[in-house]
Amino acid sequence: MNHIVREGYQGTGPGAITPDGCAVELYKRIAVRDEPQWIARAIGERPRGLRLLELGSGVGRLTRPLIEMGLEVTAVDESAEMLAAVRESLPGVRTVRSPIETLELGGDRGVERFDVVLLASFLVHAGSVGVREGMLRACRRHVAEDGVVLIQRESAEQHDNLPYERHMEGEGVVRIASSTPAVGVGRPGARTVVAEYYYPDAKWTQTFLSCPLTDGEFEAALGEAGLGLDGYMDPAKTWARAVPVGP
């Protein structure tokens, strides 16, 4: 795969940095939060044996609890270093290196489809319309006709009241330092967000683009990709369930 450059995204700090500015060594330290709870709720009572496509898996922070739920996970990421970390900590897990927006699993046998497609980590807020559209189309392409797509969105207040600091598990602190209108990069409305991560022995930063999406804009984007909203799972509407519609 050619070297990927994502304009408007960058990261600093020790170890490998992905094209979207994430630090591999940092993600190895970040514990899972309430994400598995929402995923479990969306999938229902019988996850065992369901096939889940995890888009943008990183080091496998969510992959592990998903496997523990009994799901058969395929982890996709464009970063070789992130996927190497998945294979190291979860031997036997299927990993696929690809940009999400061009993902085509299945080859000559026809597109491979999954019971659940997961697009977490706010990736739907991509700074480029093309990338966002491509990601949602990849979700549509790979979800079974009776399957479900789970999407994690930003809350409506995500860009307000900054800087914001949160102590993480262990000795880490994350600080969302700023969110400002992006200049000369990204689609209209894109914001440049700077996140800083402090640990006693290391510091990482990530600068990335984020496009706020109203409920209406989000639902319209789903529709353009052949998906329909099946419902929001939490009052803040940060977890959405979508299903395939049309041919």
Ligand X SMILES: C[S@@+](CC[C@H](N)C(=O)[O-])C[C@H]1O[C@@H](n2cnc3c(N)ncnc32)[C@H](O)[C@@H]1O
Provide the binding-site residues for ligand X, judged by CB under 6 A: 18, 20, 22, 27, 56-58, 61-62, 77-79, 82, 99-101, 120-121, 123, 131
Nearest distance from C-beta of residue 221 to ligand X, angstroms: 15
DSSP class of residue 233?
Answer: S
Nearest distance from C-beta of residue 6 to ligand X, angstroms: 7
Nearest distance from C-beta of residue 8 to ligand X, angstroms: 12
Tell which residue, 185, 38, 81, 83, has the closest CA to residue 126: 185
The smaller minimum CB distance to ligand X, of residues 99 and 172, is found at 99
Contact criterion met (CB below 8 Å) for 55 and 142: no
Give the long-range contacts of residues 67-73, CB within 8 A, separation 24 or more: 67/93, 69/36, 69/39, 69/40, 69/43, 71/43, 71/47, 71/116
Nearest distance from C-beta of residue 128 to ligand X, angstroms: 9
Cβ-closest residue to ligand X?
58
The smaller minimum CB distance to ligand X, of residues 62 and 222, is found at 62
Nearest distance from C-beta of residue 207 to ligand X, angstroms: 13
Nearest distance from C-beta of residue 69 to ligand X, angstroms: 16
Identify residue 106 by its one-letter amino acid code: G
Exposure string of 109-145, with b = 16+ CB inside 10 Å and e = fewer, is eeebbbbbbbbbbbbbbbbbeebbebbbbbbbbbbee
Give the number of other Cβ atoms within 10 Å of residue 44's Cβ: 9
Residue where the block lists tokens 């980590």: 121
- What is the spatial order of strands in the sheet that 164-167 belongs to? 10-12, 202-210, 191-199, 173-181, 164-167
The smaller minimum CB distance to ligand X, of residues 123 and 243, is found at 123
The smaller minimum CB distance to ligand X, of residues 62 and 105, is found at 62
Tell which residue, 143, 94, 93, has the closest CA to residue 114: 143
The smaller minimum CB distance to ligand X, of residues 63 and 113, is found at 63
Q: What are phi and psi of 25, to 5 degrees?
A: -65, -30
Contact criterion met (CB below 8 Å) for 174 and 195: yes
Nearest distance from C-beta of residue 247 to ligand X, angstroms: 26
The smaller minimum CB distance to ligand X, of residues 100 and 150, is found at 100
The smaller minimum CB distance to ligand X, of residues 198 and 245, is found at 198
